[in-house]
């Protein structure tokens, strides 16, 4: 399936980026290496796209509007900062500020598309986000421009490019694999993120990054918990935990009131 191929390619690229560190003194070298990896994976994805037939218009729009930009943004981002770093003069302390200021011109050129992106518009989707559309890359470009903006702003601090892409999370999942899988399936079924316009695999990718948990095949875990006598074991424990917390708060409130009345 094309979507699964895309997620795999995104994961492979991000893993490669972790190995290819960028030297602050010679950033263009590391950036070029990442671009080479990106281009190779992009070619692989392009072949997959050419061979795939979308089942309906909604699937096609979702892929080009929401899914594919998560990979394309990296290509546009590294292409742009590669040019920025190659053209950086010696002794120019305000170089990055000047480049950042020039991004206003780019906003004017892309203003209609950026407003469409920010407003969550849908009326142009069938024209913009089809396989044959010359503009089906536009949301990937816009996301990349946000990243470039952050990169340039961070250049006035000590934040390196790595933080734009790989900001490590201080959080770590310490529950079991089955608990994690059950939690994500519950979120998926309740449609509480993006109104349900997100796949279980996408949830796994983003929650995995946030919680530092690596589950390569979330669907295998789903089949495992659904085969249990009680598939919602973790969910039921959450219910118990909430009620226990409620009881504790009630007890604390009662104790506080008793203490307050005894002082009168």
Query: What are the distances in angstroms from CA 148 to CA 57, 93, 178?
Result: 32, 18, 38
What's the pLDDT at 166? 55
Residue spans of the domains in the chain: they are 2-168, 232-262
DSSP secondary structure, 52-120, as one string: ---SSHHHHHHIIIIITHHHHHHHHHHHHHHHHHHTPPTT-TTHHHHHHHHHHHHHHHTHHHHHHHHHT
| Predicted TM-score (pTM) of this structure | 0.61
What does each of the 264 residues of the chain score in pLDDT, given as a tens digit?
Answer: 899 999 999 999 988 887 777 777 778 888 999 999 999 999 999 999 999 999 999 999 999 999 999 999 999 999 999 999 999 888 877 888 899 999 999 899 999 999 999 999 999 999 999 999 999 999 999 999 999 998 888 876 654 455 555 556 778 899 998 999 999 999 999 999 888 888 888 888 889 888 888 887 788 888 888 888 898 999 999 999 999 999 899 988 888 887 777 766
Task: Give the other-Cβ count within 10 Å of 149's Cβ.
Answer: 15
- Give Cα separations from 104 to 71, 108, 141, 213 (angstroms): 24, 7, 15, 39
For position 167, what pLDDT does the model report? 58
CB-side exposure of 219: number of CA atoms within 13 Å? 5
Q: Could you give the CA distance from residue 210 to residue 212 in angstroms, rounded to a whole number?
A: 6
145: left (phi over 0), alpha (psi -120 to 50) or beta: alpha
Residue 54 to residue 179: CA distance in whole angstroms = 34
Task: Note the pLDDT of residue 136.
Answer: 95
Q: What is the pLDDT of residues 164-215, one digit of tens each?
A: 555 567 788 999 989 999 999 999 999 998 888 888 888 888 898 888 888 8
**What is the spatial distance between Cα 146 and Cα 122, in angstroms, rounded to a whole number?**
21
pLDDT of residue 185: 92
Between 27-51 and 2-19, two packed helices, what is the crossing angle to 10 degrees?
A: 170
For residues 55 and 53, give the distance between their C-alpha atoms in angstroms, rounded to a whole number.
6
CA distance 135 to 104: 21
Is residue 130 within 8 A of residue 64, CB to CB? The reply is yes
pLDDT attached to residue 149 = 92
**Own/partner pairs, 97-100, CB within 8 angstroms, 24+ separation:** 97/152, 97/156, 99/152, 100/149, 100/152, 100/153
CA distance 15 to 9: 10
pLDDT, position 38: 96
Residues in the chain: 264
Q: What is the pLDDT of residue 62?
A: 94
């Amino acid at each position: 399936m094309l979507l699964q191929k895309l997620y795999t390619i995104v994961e492979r690229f991000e893993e490669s980026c972790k190995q290819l560190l960028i030297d602050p003194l010679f950033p263009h070298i590391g950036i070029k290496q990442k671009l080479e990896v990106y281009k190779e994976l992009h070619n692989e994805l392009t072949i997959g796209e050419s061979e795939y037939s979308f089942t309906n218009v909604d699937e096609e729009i979702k892929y080009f509007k929401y899914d594919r930009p998560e990979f394309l943004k990296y290509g546009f981002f590294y292409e742009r900062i590669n040019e920025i770093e190659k053209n950086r003069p010696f002794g120019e302390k305000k170089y990055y500020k000047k480049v950042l200021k020039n991004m206003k011109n780019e906003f004017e050129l892309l203003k209609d598309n950026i407003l469409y992106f920010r407003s969550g518009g849908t009326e142009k989707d069938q024209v913009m986000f089809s396989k044959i559309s010359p503009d089906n890359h536009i949301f990937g470009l816009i996301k990349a421009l946000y990243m470039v903006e952050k990169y340039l702003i961070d250049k006035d601090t000590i934040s390196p490019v790595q933080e734009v892409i790989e900001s490590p999370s201080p959080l770590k999942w310490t529950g079991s694999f089955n608990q994690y899988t059950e939690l994500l399936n519950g979120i998926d079924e309740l449609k509480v993120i993006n109104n349900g316009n997100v796949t279980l695999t996408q949830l796994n990718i983003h929650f995995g990054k946030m919680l530092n948990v690596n589950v390569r095949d979330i669907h295998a875990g789903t089949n495992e918990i659904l085969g249990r006598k009680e598939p919602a074991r973790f969910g039921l424990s959450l219910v118990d935990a909430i009620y226990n917390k409620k009881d504790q708060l009630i007890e604390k409130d009662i104790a506080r009131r008793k203490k307050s009345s005894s002082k009168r």
